[in-house]
Amino acid sequence: MLIYSPDRLSRNYAYQVVLIDEFATSGTEVLFVNSPKGDTPEEALLLQLQGMISEYERAIIRERCRRGKRFKAKAGVVNVLWSSIWI
């Protein structure tokens, strides 16, 4: 299976590990375009770090979205397409 980068597989590091293990169990090799294969300890460490950084980035995006929605709500702007507002 060819995947662009680890964060395209999942933004949660734990899910990445589970998915890669499940693919390996079923005999499917996972290859990342923007990441090393992970055969050496250094490559495995880099893959883990990329997974953790993508998880951190997702948390930052969520926080910024939450703050933006809160700001709009306080300003009186209501959008019916928002599924929920985390205030």
Q: What is the pLDDT of residues 7-63, one digit of tens each?
A: 888 888 888 889 989 999 999 988 888 877 777 888 888 888 888 888 899 899 999
Expressed as residue numbers, the domain containing 45 is: 2-59
| Residue with the larger pLDDT of the pair 83 and 25 | 25
| Range name among 1-5, 39-43, 55-59, 83-87 with the lowest pLDDT average | 83-87
Residue 33 belongs to a domain? yes
Residue 74 belongs to a domain? no
Could you give the CA distance from residue 49 to residue 44 in angstroms, rounded to a whole number? Answer: 9
pLDDT score at 30? 86
Residue 53 belongs to a domain? yes
Residue 21 belongs to a domain? yes
Residue 20 belongs to a domain? yes
Q: Is the pTM of this model over 0.85?
A: no
Residue 36 belongs to a domain? yes
- Confirm if 6 and 47 have CB atoms less than 8 A apart: yes
How many domains does the chain fold into? 1
Residue 32 — φ and ψ, nearest 5°?
-105, 135
